[in-house]
Structure 1
Amino acid sequence: MSTKIAVLCSEAFKKRILSIAHNIDDIQLEFYLYNQPADAPTLLKQVKPCDALLLGGTLPYLHVQSLLKTLPIPWNYMKQDETAISTTLLSLITNHTISLDRVSIDVMNPIFVDNVLTDIEYSGPKPYVYPISIAEAPNLILQKHIKLWQEKNIDFVITSIHTVFDELQDLNIPAMRMLDATSSIIQYLEETKSQSLLTKSESVKAAVGLLELSDNNEANTYILNHITAATHSTFKQITTNYFELYTTAGHLQNAFEKENMHKLIQQVEHPFKLAFGYGHSIFEAAQNAKYALKFAKPFEIYILDEHKNLLGPFPNTEAKISLKTNDPYILQLAKQTNLSPLNISKIINFSRERQSSQFTSHNLSEYLQVSRRTTERIIKKLVDQGYAKIVGEEMPHQQGRPRTIYELNFATY
């Protein structure tokens, strides 16, 4: 089945991309054309169901950037870079006998022009270069080019804005559009297609949930109905208060993105435990869900994916902890401290997420969600092997023993 890509671009870019797209198998392009990049937000609302979106340039992307996060499909945009500028300057030199200092150029980032000129070891007078931004109307860029032409400072214009090129043509001012290299266009089309295929494969991945309820039958029915509705799950009752749910990763992700699960947790008063597992089969997903449920506490949700990464607890955080590691550094620390690789991974994440390098056993206990006694045993093993050190004491606000302050003594980045 072909991948349907909506392309939001100018008429000129449409012609360019159509001359190249035949090099890519199994794609179908549907175009939404603008006269000005500022029209992109309006056009975005007209896009019909498709597999992915490709924006034909940085300017239209900047105009719709805030809207893209609401799209349920992957998106991509053609970024202007040194390759486009190199290709354009090569075309200029090949087809026109014009000195670079007699050229004016508008680009998204002027540093790209400097980089190209540096790379080719150009030491002569530089062209006139104007930056483009959504804060400056294309007509203002046009007027800068016209002024240079009228003052006889330039003989040629290179523009990144298709409407500016059309206006220059009408005024008989020699000009050319910035050229996107064929290889770059193919690359962006391939990337967009791959993003769509990956999203589809991820969204249909099996997800199995395990729901453990309390003894309140009336509340249980409410909780079960709302969770299955939010996640588009079917379920099998294992015991009176224990259910197995069947859905897909796509449905589950959608439930979290729409905050349906968050709203449910806020509404119910009776505790429940819920965990999901991803897998390439129902059996693998169910096994991962069972393991994830061991971490779940009331009103928390964990997900264990097929790579043994533990995500959660939701909805309060989106922490990601790997339960399986081949990292020799972590394995070495685990062996020397007699701690599990999982605990080492958790401690590293704990350190990365804190604003301060110093911590107490209480801080670490809250993060690991284990008892204070268990945490103190973990810290003792780190201290005994020199991977943590005592740096002070913290006096409590009320009466009680002062808390020992620690610092980790190994690399966590």
Structure 2
Amino acid sequence: MVIKIAVIGSEKMADKVLRLNSHANVQIRSLIYDKPEESAKLVKMAQNDDVLFFTGPFPYFFAKDEIEKQGIPAVYIPLDELVFTISLYYIRDTLCIHPDRLSIDIPYQEVVLHVLDELNIDAARIYIKEHEHYRTDEIVKFHHEQWKAGNVDFVLTSVQSVHKELEQLGIPSFRMIIPKKNILDTLQHAVAKGELLLSQASQIAAGIVQIDYPDDAQAADTELHAKLHELLLDLGKKMNASVKHIDDRTFMIYGTRGGIRQITGNYHVFPILDQLKPFTQASIRFGFGFGVTALESEEHAQIGLYHAKKHAGHGAYIVTENKKVIGPLHHKTTKTFQLQSDDEHLLTVAKQTGISVSSITKIIDFIHLRHNRIFSASDLADYLQLSKRSAERLLKKLVDSGYAEISGEEQPYQKGRPRALYKILL
């Protein structure tokens, strides 16, 4: 099968990746930006691709949140010691620039310091800007200031758009050389991720669909049952799955992981829920499960259905073969958490706090989704869909065990007591 890879980067680097691709089963398309800050927007255009290939760490950092949101595997070309060493020798031997008065930007300064130490080059007059958390205009400003102050003679940058802006300012600079080895290694990594994804696509998937009527309902609604059956048959055609009628409240769906991934947009949306909105007389819940065998996938579908039933109204959850729970689908925020874990640190936290592994992974997921790491018990309660009191109990256990701290307080309303703000220390 064909592996579809979206290359996100500058035009120059994307063309280089295209030229070096020799895999007959790989289809590459380029998504070009002028500045790396645009990379997150381009990720949204790659929903039908199997793997994202970033031409450097900088665009990857800017798109990281969107990558996690879309759930698409991603790789990037590393800026390692090989990149810096080749670039250093090039500016010295070809451009005749002595490498003792340089301004450099790179994700991690250790790469530069290790190479300079190995080559016995004094780093005292070399200025380094780590750029994992900075915008390109801030990097340009840093180099410009070093140049104006007379601290440096030359700029060695890892970002193509920074090099272009420095040229316009009349500041001598060079964009680091990305060797073929790094591109080919990253391409091979992308292909491996794509092959894994395609192999998983044929994995057995089962779905359980259940109509839950209110306790005072007299009988099953035949109109709702018929409409749901019709919608499920249409869904089955779209995802190449079979639909089996079990009883007047239950249906089974048998298909593949690839079909569910496609119909849910990488496990985020589930459009059939919109079609069910007019039916308010009952709640329709979907549980999907993946597994190595049909029995395992059915067991996981039952777990998915259990989580869907925890919420009011129509809903859908997915449980993977390694017991990762994904859901609720078709909501503003789709959460993921583990029902089990072999992560020793996670197990230690669970043991010391008395909080389940699944709850801890939900809390970690909540922290990762927030740009501001400080939050209130109400914020956590909204995310976990718990009462505020239950969220406060969880946080108290974490604070008492040293895995969270009270870092301040807020008073959103003029009246009433201020509420505590927390910071997780996991």
Match of 1:395 in 2: none
**For 1:311, which of 315, 325, 328 is the aligned residue?**
325
Pairwise CA distance, 1:178 = 1.1
Contact 1:302/1:310 (<8 A) preserved: no
Contact 1:312/1:319 (<8 A) preserved: yes
For the pair 1:218 / 2:223, whether they are aligned, the reply is: yes
For the pair 1:278 / 2:290, whether they are aligned, the reply is: yes
For the pair 1:17 / 2:12, whether they are aligned, the reply is: no
In 2, the alpha carbon distance for the partners of 1:354 and 1:32 equals: 34
- Normalising by structure 2, report the TM-score: 0.58
- Give the counterpart letter for 1:278 in structure 2: F
Match of 1:147 in 2: 148
In 1, the alpha carbon distance for the partners of 2:363 and 2:60 equals: 34
In 1, the alpha carbon distance for the partners of 2:335 and 2:185 equals: 35
Instruction: Give the 3 Å change call, closer, same or farther, for CA 137–260 of structure 1 in structure 2.
Output: same
Match of 1:193 in 2: 191
Instruction: Give the 3 Å change call, closer, same or farther, for CA 160–291 of structure 1 in structure 2.
Output: closer
In 1, the alpha carbon distance for the partners of 2:12 and 2:104 equals: 18
Three-state SS of the structure 2 residue aligned to 1:258 is coil
For the pair 1:205 / 2:219, whether they are aligned, the reply is: no
The alignment of Structure 1 onto Structure 2 pairs a total of residues equal to 342
Contact 1:7/1:54 (<8 A) preserved: yes
Describe the superposition over 1:181-220 as per-residue Cα deviations: whole angstroms up to 9, x where unpaired.
Answer: 4332222212222333333333443322233445332333
**Pairing 1:168-317 to 2, within 5 Å after superposition:** 175-213=173-211, 215-226=220-231, 232=238, 234-253=242-261, 254-255=263-264, 257-258=268-269, 260=271, 268-271=280-283, 274-280=286-292, 282=294, 285-286=297-298, 289=301, 297=309, 303-307=318-322, 309=323, 311=325, 314=328
Contact 2:5/2:27 (<8 A) preserved: yes
Pairwise CA distance, 1:20 = 4.1
Give 1 or 2 for the bigger CA radius of gyration: 1
Structure 2, unmatched stretches of 5+, are: 214-219, 348-353, 365-384, 386-425
Structure 1, unmatched stretches of 5+, are: 331-344, 356-366, 368-412
For the pair 1:320 / 2:338, whether they are aligned, the reply is: yes
In 2, the alpha carbon distance for the partners of 1:352 and 1:269 equals: 34
Match of 1:113 in 2: 112
The two structures, once aligned, show a CA RMSD in angstroms of 5.2
Pairwise CA distance, 1:6 = 2.9
Three-state SS of the structure 2 residue aligned to 1:105 is strand
Pairwise CA distance, 1:236 = 1.7
Pairwise CA distance, 1:21 = 3.5
**Pairing 1:81-160 to 2, within 5 Å after superposition:** 81-92=80-91, 95=94, 98-110=97-109, 112-118=111-117, 122-123=121-122, 125-132=124-131, 133-134=134-135, 136=137, 140=141, 143-144=144-145, 147=148, 151=150, 154-160=152-158
Three-state SS of the structure 1 residue aligned to 2:339 is strand
Describe the superposition over 1:267-325 as per-residue Cα deviations: whole angstroms up to 9, x where unpaired.
Answer: 64425564333234556534654687688857676655445x27378569644324x99
Pairwise CA distance, 1:118 = 4.9
Match of 1:162 in 2: 160
Describe the superposition over 1:243-276 as per-residue Cα deviations: whole angstroms up to 9, x where unpaired.
Answer: 2223333444554512547665896442556433
Contact 1:106/1:141 (<8 A) preserved: no
In 2, the alpha carbon distance for the partners of 1:59 and 1:115 equals: 21
- Give the counterpart letter for 1:243 in structure 2: F
Instruction: Give the 3 Å change call, closer, same or farther, for CA 105–248 of structure 1 in structure 2.
Output: same
Pairwise CA distance, 1:117 = 3.6
In 1, the alpha carbon distance for the partners of 2:280 and 2:146 equals: 64
Percent of residue pairs bearing the same amino acid type: 22
